[in-house]
Structure 1
Amino acid sequence: MIAEQQTWERAEVARSASEAMHTPDARLIGDEANLARYLNPPMHTVYPLEYAYALLGDVRGRTVLDFGCGSGENTLLLARRGANVIGVDISADLIALAQRRLALNGLPGAARFIVGSAHDLPMEAGSVDVVFGIAILHHLDLDATSREVHRVLKPGGRAIFQEPVRDSRLIRALRRCVPYRQPDVSPFERPLTEREVTSFAARFRDCSVRAFSLPFVNITQALPPLRRYIHSAYRLDGALLRRAPILKPYTGVRVLQVTK
């Protein structure tokens, strides 16, 4: 398994180097209206990323690990919310980009960065109040990652993740009929299953999960003529899932919170 993890990580480092090379400074400067969405979002929001940030609560002065920080989009937001941020990523190129992002947005040095593996975090046990990861678990070996997240959290600490999930056999079959793969997708990433989410959370004392994104949301995002309706699609998505939770297996995103 260690050899397989190393293969995954080498592929991710290669993909990340290409991403860093093709990211201009203009894309690193945050849009203030968009950033404001994540500073104090409501718990009832219909947007998964807003919900992940709502779960954070008040993190001023707390140590928050941006788990798989990449180019620092969430590092910037966490720093804006007053957290003591540590960004960890396997890619030195993306960490350099994250540092550049903070500087361009007026927060140079607002986070500490570590180049390291999510499967073997170079951090002390019990050193983190919150682990925050967006679209990272589906790149990783879940058992090793769960163990490491649990290890670095303080007692009572929380981990919050937003991940792609494909749990419907019908949707998995339909997706196999569409062989398109986005160019920025690494070869080893895959949507999780509900069983994998449950297994990841098993070593924690508490877990909550909320589902988002019925298929029409993804279709609206993917087709340029429909993108103007994306906010309406999310509102409909939220309303349907509140009234018909039986639709959960057909959703494509989960936001989970686990507590040590």
Structure 2
Amino acid sequence: MDTRAESMQRWERAEIERSSVEATLTPDAALRVSPDTLDRYAAPSLDTAFPLEYAYHLLGNVHGRRILDFGCGSGANSVLLANRGAHVWGVDISEDLLRLARRRMAVSGRPDGASFIAGSAHDLPFPDGTIDVVFGIAILHHLDLDLVWREVRRVLKPGGRAIFQEPVRNSKLIRFVRSLIPYRAPDISPFERPLTDAELQRFATGFSRWSVRPFALPHVQIGQVLPLVRDYYQMLYRWDRRLLDAMPRLAYFASIRVIELTK
């Protein structure tokens, strides 16, 4: 029988292999972050309909703060965080993606805007209580939540915050049907999976306070894959916000959560 350590080694090898594929699929031309994108995430409003904008709204004033870009990948968020004046540390298990992250910072005009470290999210290379904000976009669903919960709490300063955006699939029927479909894209690891609201609630245990906001009802998900509808995704997200505000019980069917936790 595998030990926990052996399971983690297999898990992380799979993530490194997935990340290598992701790196090969990222063209150099896509690395530069445009001024329009920098402006978009500089100060989003509270009532934004878009999950990533809401995550950046939650950041508030992070000028001079030490932020961990958790599972930074190719550094797309590292550039945006540096643009907000934060001291950014990016951690990822993939050296291939970290090379892209360094290039992205350079071509986006911020060659010294972040420091990148290769390391495991299950064993972060930081002392206790040294991080003001852990910021992670679509990362928890790749990981062992118990180990990550321990590490996030460990590295955060007292009163520090963690902000995550994650895919969620609550429906047992949909999860079962998806499990019957053998296809898996090459840049998806065998261990990643959408989370559930119950898992996020357990992850919040031990934090002094937490909040969550749902996004992306099924019409948004469908619109993102239909060519004739894809151009109208902004309108779909705005409908999404109105529906969720008017009928909060629909949140069960929403496929994205943005969660903020305070140590």
Q: What TM-score, normalized to structure 2?
A: 0.95
Distance in 2 (CA, whole Å) between partners of 1:78 and 1:137 is 19
Report the alpha carbon displacement of residue 10 of structure 1 after superposing the two structures with TM: 0.3
Contact preservation (8 Å) 1:119, 1:148: yes
Superposition pairs for residues 42-81 of structure 1, below 5 Å?
42-81=45-84
Q: Answer whether contact 1:59 1:83 (CA < 8 A) is retained.
A: yes
Aligned to 1:168: 171
How far apart, in 1, do the equivalents of 2:7 and 2:40 lie?
38
User: What is the SS of the residue equivalent to 2:232?
Assistant: helix
Q: Is the 8 A contact 2:34 2:108 kept in 1?
A: no
User: 1:195 and 2:198 equivalent?
Assistant: yes
Unaligned runs of 5+ in 2: none
Partner of 2:248: 245
Aligned partners of 2:120 and 2:129: how far apart in 1? 18
CA shift at 1:205, angstroms?
1.2
Show CA shifts across 1:208-258 (max 9, x none): 011111011010001111111111110110000000001111010000000
The Cα of 1:31 is off from its aligned counterpart by: 2.4
1:85 to 88, 95, 103: 88
| Preserved contact between residue 21 and residue 186 of structure 2 (Cα < 8 Å) | no
Deviation at 1:36, TM superposition (A): 1.7
Aligned equivalent of 2:139, options 125, 131, 136: 136
- Provide the aligned C-alpha RMSD in A: 1.3
Counterpart-to-counterpart distance in 2, 1:215 and 1:11: 30
Q: Partners in 2 of 1:196 and 1:131 — Cα distance?
A: 18
Query: d(CA) in 2 for partners of 1:239 and 1:174?
Result: 29
What does residue range 94-109 of structure 1 map to in structure 2 within 5 Å? 94-109=97-112
For 2:203 and 2:5, the matched residues in 1 are separated by 18
Q: List alignment gaps of at least 5 residues for structure 1.
A: none
The amino acid of 2:254's aligned partner reads T
Cα contact 1:171–1:250 (8 A) shared by 2 = no
TM-score by length of 1: 0.96
CA gap 1:248/1:22 in 2 versus in 1, 3 angstroms: closer
User: By how many angstroms is 1:176 displaced?
Assistant: 4.5
Matches for 1:176-195 after TM superposition, within 5 Å: 176=179, 180-195=183-198
2:128 to 125, 134, 144: 125
Question: Would the alpha carbon gap of residues 5 and 160 (structure 1) be closer, same or farther in structure 2, given more than 3 Å must change?
Answer: same
User: Which is further off, 110-119 or 131-140?
Assistant: 110-119
The percentage of aligned residue pairs carrying the same residue is: 59
Moved over 6 A (4+): none
| 3-state SS of 2:135 partner | strand
Corresponding position of 1:232: 235
CA distance in 1, matches of 2:15, 2:63: 32
Residue 25 of structure 2: aligned partner: 22
With over 3 angstroms needed to count, the CA separation of the structure-2 counterparts of 1:8 and 1:58, relative to structure 1, is same
SS at 1:196's partner residue?
helix
What amino acid does structure 2 have at the position aligned with 1:27?
A
Q: Distance in 1 between matches of 2:24 and 2:182?
A: 27
What residue is the counterpart of 1:146 in the other structure? 149
Letter in 1 for 2:160: G
Whole-Å separation in 1 of the counterparts to 2:15 and 2:92:
10
